[in-house]
Structure 1
Amino acid sequence: MRTFRWSRGERHFPGWYWSATTGRHVGFESWLERDRLLLMDFDPDVVGIGSQPFWLHWHDGGRERRHAPDYFVRRADGSAVVVDVRADERIEPKDAEAFEVTRLVCAQAGWRFERLGIPDAVLLANVRWLSRYRHPRCLHDPAAARLREVFSIPGPLMVGADAAGDRLSTLPVLFHLLWLQVLITEDTTVELLGPGTIVHLARGVAR
C-alpha cells in the first residue's frame, strides 16, 4: 500500500530482499525490518510474507490517523500474523497507540498481531550467514543425499562436509540444508556456526 522510495540524505535504509519462502522480492524500510524479514524467511512455519499490506484508518478523538503495518505473514496452519517492527527504545506514544489499534483490529479479524524489536544477535548472525545459501540453486541432490547420510549421526560440521565429498562442493549444499532445517544444530542462539558445530539430521527427515 506504500511505495518504497530511495533518496540521498534519508535516515532510513529501504530496499528489497529476495525471499526463499515466496520466490519474490519483499520490501523493507530499515535494517531492523530487513533483519526481521530474514528471520521470518528462515521460519519453516511461514509460507507467505507481504510488506506494507494495508492502510488502517481510525480517529483518535482529535484527528484522523492511519497506519500501514510492516508485514502480513501467512503461516502453514492457515493462520495470519500482522507484524510491526520497531526497537523498544524508538516507540513513541503515537507509535504505541498505532500498535494497540492494530492489535485490536487484528483480533476482530481473527489475526494475531506482533510488534518485533531487535533480535538475538547470535541467532541473527547465524541466519544471515545461512541466507547466503538460501537459493535453490545451492541444492545438489547427490551431495544432499550424502550429507543426510553422514549427519544421520550427529557430528562436527566440517568433518561431515569432508566425509560427504570435496568441501568446496559440499559446504554450499550443507548450508542450504541448514537453511531448510533439514539439517539442524542444537541451538543457533548460543554460539556462532563454525567448523566444530554439531550438526544432525532433523527429526522425521529420511536419510
Structure 2
Amino acid sequence: MAGSLGVLPGRVSGPPAEGFEIAYADRGGSEFRALLVDAWAVRFEDAAPVRAFKSYKGQRHLPGLWWSSTVGGHIGYESWLERDHVMLLDFDPSVVGISSQPFWLFWRSDTGKSVSHAPDYFARRDDGAAVVVDCRPANRRKRRDVAKFEATQEACAQVGWEFRLVGTPDSIVVRNVRWLAGYRHPRHRLEPVASELLAAFAEPQPLMTGASTVGDPIGVLPVLFHLLWSHELSADVSVPLHALSLVSAGTPR
C-alpha cells in the first residue's frame, strides 16, 4: 500500500487468544459475537459497519462516504485521514475487498477492566491474506490509544492477520492518487480509446506523447487516467504526474 504505514515495534503483551472476543454484523442486519479464534475465517470485508458515521454541527472531524471501485459501492470514513487511506486501499491492486468499522474487539486489560476497540478498516488481498488498519496521526496517539493499538496488533497476530497503524500519508502520492480517483468509475473506460492507449503505451513513453498519438487529449486523457487508476497502465505516483511522466504497460487487477 502506498503512504505512511507502520506496524507497532516489538512484541506486545496481551491477553491469550481465548481472551479476545469479536462482535460484527452482516449486511442483512444480523449480529454475531464469538471468540476471535472461532471467527478468524469470517469474510469481514463484507461486514456492515459496527458504528454509525455521525454528522453534527461543530464536529472536528468530517465523515463521509467513499465510492470504491474495488467493491463497487460506498465505504464510510470518519475523517479526511481515513478518507485518504481508504482511497489508497482502493487504489492498491492487490486489495480485492474493503470494509470500514468491520468489528468490535473485546478484551480485558491487565487490571481486569473490560476494553473494546473498533479498527478503521479491514482489507482482503487477492492471495486471501487479511489486513486490519487503524488510522491515527503520530502526534495524536495518546497512551490509552496506543494500548488499544498494541492489543489489536496482538489479536491480529494470533489469527494470522496483518495489522497496520497508519499516519499521514505521503502528500505527493495522495495528490496523484486523488487526481486519478476522479476517473475511477468504469464509465471512463471507453472503447476503442482504451485499447488504442494500451497499444500506444506497450512501449514506455511520456504521458502526453502517447495520448496525442491516439487522438484529441480532451477526449483521450480521461480514459488514460482511468487506465492508470485501474493499473492497466502504470506510472510512478511517488513523484508529481505531468506531461512527461513515463507511462508503461501495467498489471491490472
TM-score bracket for this pair, using the shorter chain length: over 0.9
> How far apart are the structure 1 equivalents of 2:108 and 2:118?
15
Letter in 2 for 1:42: F
> Structure 1 or 2: larger helix share?
1
> How far apart are the structure 2 equivalents of 1:39 and 1:45?
11
Aligned counterpart, 1:50: 99
> How far apart are the structure 1 equivalents of 2:191 and 2:143?
52
> How far apart are the structure 2 equivalents of 1:122 and 1:133?
18
Instruction: Please give the per-residue CA displacement for 1:34-82, whole angstroms capped at 9, x wherever unaligned.
Output: 0011000000000000000111112221532111000011000001111
> How far apart are the structure 2 equivalents of 1:47 and 1:152?
26
Letter in 2 for 1:3: A
> How far apart are the structure 2 equivalents of 1:103 and 1:163?
50
Q: What fraction of aligned residue pairs are identical, expressed as a percent?
A: 50
Q: TM-score, normalised by structure 2?
A: 0.78
Tell me, yes or no, if structure 1 residue 114 matches structure 2 residue 167.
Answer: no
Shift >3 Å, 4+ stretches: none
Tell me, yes or no, if structure 1 residue 36 matches structure 2 residue 85.
Answer: yes
Tell me, yes or no, if structure 1 residue 202 matches structure 2 residue 250.
Answer: yes
Letter in 2 for 1:31: W
The count of residues paired between Structure 1 and Structure 2 equals 202
> How far apart are the structure 1 equivalents of 2:166 and 2:228?
24
> How far apart are the structure 2 equivalents of 1:82 and 1:143?
38
Q: TM-score, normalised by structure 1?
A: 0.94
What's the Cα RMSD here?
1.2
> How far apart are the structure 1 equivalents of 2:113 and 2:171?
40
Tell me, yes or no, if structure 1 residue 72 matches structure 2 residue 122.
Answer: yes
> How far apart are the structure 2 equivalents of 1:49 and 1:202?
22
Deviates most, 47-56 or 107-116: 107-116
- Structure 1: gaps of 5 or more residues: none
Q: 1:15 aligns with which of 59, 64, 70?
A: 64
Instruction: Please give the per-residue CA displacement for 1:88-147, whole angstroms capped at 9, x wherever unaligned.
Output: 111011111000110111111221111111111111111000000000000012101110
Letter in 2 for 1:193: L
Q: 1:98 aligns with which of 148, 153, 158?
A: 148
By how many angstroms is 1:202 displaced?
A: 2.2
> How far apart are the structure 1 equivalents of 2:245 and 2:160?
41
By how many angstroms is 1:165 displaced?
A: 1.1
Instruction: Please give the per-residue CA displacement for 1:159-189, whole angstroms capped at 9, x wherever unaligned.
Output: 211111121111111000000111112x211
1:144-155 matches, within 5 Å, as: 144-155=194-205
- Structure 2: gaps of 5 or more residues: 1-49
